[in-house]
Chain A
């Protein structure tokens, strides 16, 4: 279904805008998942707004949680004259590694990852999510009254693991007495189990929760229901439960997409790895008013500490 939409867009694109920079992106979940895929979609929209629809076009296949489907989409696009193809999900690395050498004139980017496979037509990008994790940890430890904080993680890899590790360090650095209970549910999509994990954290006494990836919507529901505080990451999750979401670490991929686009235009198709950080503005801490002045102040301090290098969440 989506492939059809993509092809139609492509035809129209070829007919109307010969000179526009063309990007295609494959994502594991929906463009409005309040998390990983949404962050990329929003970034591309922002770039399009800035460059103008005549100069920048993008197509996407979202909800492509089956890796084989993603591989097929990547291969299709590669043969169709796109300037840059983004494989937004670390699970797409293996197929990309096979496909990229077949299309040496096409530029690919994939993340979150730090490895370009040594290929000069592949860019890698990742998020230093431990930084926002650290800040969220600081806020959580400041706000928790019970001294117990719950974390609902997906699978113990990639930026989710970075986030959770940073979060733990931020929380215990703020209050060594605080207890951070971590749970990985083994899936990016199992909303039911994420919900039960949040319930379990609550039963175990947690009064502040956080979690990473798109399956946390159910966990946020639990927090809302039980009146617990929530800290978001990847995208802003405030709108789902404004009364209990106190802060979000928001990914802004434009910071790295812009230089990649410039490089591709200039003829350099890959070979570099990028990271979004608090410092380069790719990570943005959105702190809501319900966090209160104390937590806000502590968070600001942590942010500047990370930017000036005096705090390194996971060490150097």
Chain B
């Protein structure tokens, strides 16, 4: 058993946590947009799976990770629109619609995988891309600036999402539609259009989340590859109080603690594995309960909107 807190370990935990958080960040920020506009999309995990497979298959057959990413964006966007069609246009109950989208993505990704790939094959996806100069900074360079492009993207997304929500007219529309769609409608803000846009955006981000797994971090596909990550992402949105930076905080705590418990086990710290694997869940909930404070969910969340009703 080596020294638990030497620099290799600290760097290992941090860079591992940064990677682990990546898919959660894309998926949870996408979900944040949807929920701020009043739509709960429980289909994130299914969208992630379908996009993960599509991008994986693209890279497997055509070789280009960038093309794979593009396909993930398209597939994710289309699935977002599909969710919109079911829950906005057809006004189906949101929770049920989302579960439908999830099961569709889970089943179809598996079916296509069995049919066109068969057994898991490793692919060569996005490589680590050390940022010139920055990656040479001692300590921080290894942690923050020697990762895959999709990892950088996830962290740039947080301030961008905050900016969109709080500083743009689109963000203002989103927040209004999620709180009081009637008021927004009375001022000429289209509730349907806004919600379709957030769901499409959410779908695209869920798609990138899936791709970040299959063509950047894991470079493989398997049935149910996400293993429920999409649902954890939805939970992170709630715990983060629908605010991008708190969602980031939640994702990071969850991932860092997960990386920490992996390291603790690897280094032989005497702790039962059952307890170790619970740590990230317990700590994330505890920290967010105390830091994020009590935040009201968007008032129109899960409510379908029909003019004049």
Contact = CB atoms under 8 A, between A and B. Distances in A.
A203 interface: yes
B122 A200 contact: no
A199 interface: yes
A155 B276 CA distance: 11
A240 B123 CA distance: 10
B40 interface: no
Contacts of B113: 30
B86 interface: no
B262 A197 contact: yes
A199 B9 CA distance: 12
A3 to B, nearest CB: 12
Interface in B180-215: 213
Nearest to B279: A186
B301 to A, nearest CB: 27
A156 interface: yes
Interface in A292-315: none
Contact of B273 (A65, A184, A191): A184
A199 B110 CA distance: 27
Contacts of B19: 196
Contacts of A220: 122
B152 interface: no
Given A184-B273, A240-B120, A30 B229 contact: no
A217 B265 contact: no
A224 interface: yes
A214 B221 CA distance: 12
A65 to B, nearest CB: 7
Contact of B122 (A33, A197, A241): A241
Contacts of B12: 199-200, 203-204
A241 B124 CA distance: 12
A204 B277 contact: no
Contact of A193 (B20, B121, B122, B272): B20
Contacts, number: 123
B266 A224 contact: no
Contact of A200 (B220, B224, B262, B273): B262
A33 B221 CA distance: 10
Contact of A181 (B8, B122, B266, B276): B266
Interface residues of B, number: 43
A192 B262 contact: no
A240 B12 CA distance: 26
A1 B114 CA distance: 14
B224 to A, nearest CB: 6
A195 B20 CA distance: 10
A190 B259 CA distance: 14
Contact of B217 (A192, A224, A241): A192
A298 to B, nearest CB: 25
Interface in A213-253: 214-215, 217-218, 220-221, 224-225, 239-241
Contact of A201 (B23, B266, B272): B266
Contacts of A254: none
Most buried by B among A65, A195, A196, A215: A196
Contact of B120 (A32, A192, A196, A197): A32
Contacts of B220: 191, 217-218, 221
A211 interface: no
Nearest to B277: A186
B111 to A, nearest CB: 7
Interface string A58-70: 0000010100000
B267 A196 contact: no
Contacts of B224: 29, 63, 65, 189
Contact of B107 (A1, A150, A196, A197): A1
A116 interface: no
A34 B119 CA distance: 7
Most buried by B among A153, A184, A215: A184
Contact of B274 (A156, A196, A197): A156
B258 interface: yes
Contacts of A200: 12, 16, 259, 262-263, 266
5 smallest CB-CB distances across A and B, nearest first, come from: A186-B277, A184-B273, A30-B223, A189-B227, A183-B265
Interface of B: 2, 8-9, 12, 16, 19-20, 23, 107, 110-111, 113-114, 118-122, 213, 217-220, 222-225, 227, 229, 258-259, 262-263, 265-268, 272-274, 276-278
23 contacts: A1-B111, A30-B114, A32-B119, A65-B224, A156-B273, A181-B265, A181-B268, A183-B262, A183-B266, A183-B273, A186-B273, A186-B276, A186-B278, A193-B262, A196-B258, A196-B259, A196-B262, A199-B12, A200-B259, A204-B263, A221-B220, A224-B122, A240-B122
Given A192-B20, A197-B262, 9 more contacts: A30-B114, A30-B222, A65-B224, A150-B266, A184-B265, A185-B277, A191-B218, A204-B267, A217-B220
Interface of A: 1, 29-30, 32-34, 63, 65, 150, 153, 155-156, 181-187, 189-193, 195-197, 199-201, 203-204, 214-215, 217-218, 220-221, 224-225, 239-241
